[in-house]
Chains A and B, each alone.
Chain A
């Protein structure tokens, strides 16, 4: 897709017709389905729930798309989309924590999160970094997923997390430092 098309999908112009909006949404969906799915997957840890979170994220995005385009002033909408997925994933974990024990027993254990075995193909050090990642504070872990799985820059991550660019830079720096320290201590 050309930059012009991408701009059209992300930033809106005033008074668009419904057909124009639908086309722009379709483009946004095609451009960012993988991002939303990847983020959801790394947050919830299994394909079933990642699919549900992704589907809900796009439905919510569709509902608010016109306003988001109007208010974006031409800025990319990926951080907005990821923020929706981020909130849905947080709700998922909150609901899961509240669910009765019987249901918890049926769900996949957190230790198996992310299907690590498949992802890292047996490389112990990658497995280790994934395990340590899961023990980071939520905001640090989420920022690292956005940076490394989605390739987002500090500004995009800042918009997704509702922080300043400077605070996001510090957050990522501390997250990497914490991972390094903990992996060194635990023999990463």
Chain B
């Protein structure tokens, strides 16, 4: 095809840039990750609870204070859990990590959640 006008280019682009079907394993991998997020959030909550100060623990003995930290963990910890899973998978794999900063993201999110919860408890 001679490329003489813009419609020729558009026609070529339409043929060349076809949508790419994601590999089936990716769908499974993503679904697994998203399902595992709930479990990871529970673990995150547990780890966070171990770091609570005495005053925070005392505060949490009041049932009316339970909702807030739980909501904060749900908002931030869930995503952090998901990122942890990805990071662990990546570290277990053979190929080098193509994207950096995951560990930092996880750490930032965890800090953010803890600060958020502590602010709400105080």
| A interface with B by C-beta (< 8 Å) | 18, 26, 29, 33-35, 37-38, 41-42, 44, 47-56, 58-60, 62-63, 66, 88, 91-92, 95-96, 103, 106, 119-120, 123, 125-126, 129-130, 133, 144-145, 147-151, 176-177, 179-180, 183-184, 188
The CA-CA distance from A44 to B99 in the complex, in Å, is 11
Question: Inside 8 A of A35's CB, which chain B residues have their CB?
Answer: 19
Judge whether A148 and B13 touch: CB under 8 Å.
yes
Given contacts A119-B18, A176-B10, contact A58 B30 (CB under 8 A): yes
Interface Cβ pair total, 8 Å cutoff: 131
A23 to chain B, nearest CB (A): 12
Binding site for A on B (CB under 8 A): 1, 3-6, 8-10, 12-23, 26-27, 29-30, 33-34, 37, 74-76, 78-79, 82-83, 86, 90, 95-96, 98-102, 109
Which of B19, B75, B76, B82 has its CB near the most chain A CB atoms (within 10 A)? B19
Determine whether the beta carbon of A55 is less than 8 Å from that of B14.
Answer: no
Contact B19 A38 (CB under 8 A): yes
CB <8 Å contact, A62 and B37: yes
A9 to B30, CA, bound (A): 18
- In the bound complex, residues from chain B placing their C-beta under 8 Å from that of A91 are 99, 101
Chain A residues with CB below 8 A from B34, complex form: 26, 29, 58, 62
Contact partner, B26, options A55, A56, A126, A144, Cβ 8 Å: A55
Assess whether B30 is in contact with A129, with CB atoms less than 8 Å apart.
no
Name the residue on A nearest B4 (C-beta).
A184
> Which B residue sits closest to A123, measured CB to CB?
B15
- Known A37-B26, A42-B17; contact A92-B98, beta-carbon cutoff 8 A: yes
**B20 and A38: CB pair below 8 A?**
yes
Q: B3, A180: Cβ atoms under 8 Å?
A: yes
Across the two chains, which residue of chain A brings its CB closest to B100?
Answer: A95
A59 neighbours in B (Cβ, 8 Å): 33, 79, 82-83, 86
CA distance A80 to B18 in the complex (A): 21
Cross-chain contact A148 with B6 (CB below 8 angstroms): no
16 contacts between A and B (CB under 8 A): A38-B19, A38-B20, A42-B17, A47-B23, A51-B29, A54-B30, A59-B82, A59-B83, A63-B76, A63-B82, A125-B3, A144-B13, A148-B10, A148-B14, A150-B19, A180-B4
Given A144-B17, A180-B8, A188-B3, 6 new contacts (CB under 8 A): A34-B19, A56-B86, A62-B79, A91-B99, A125-B1, A180-B3
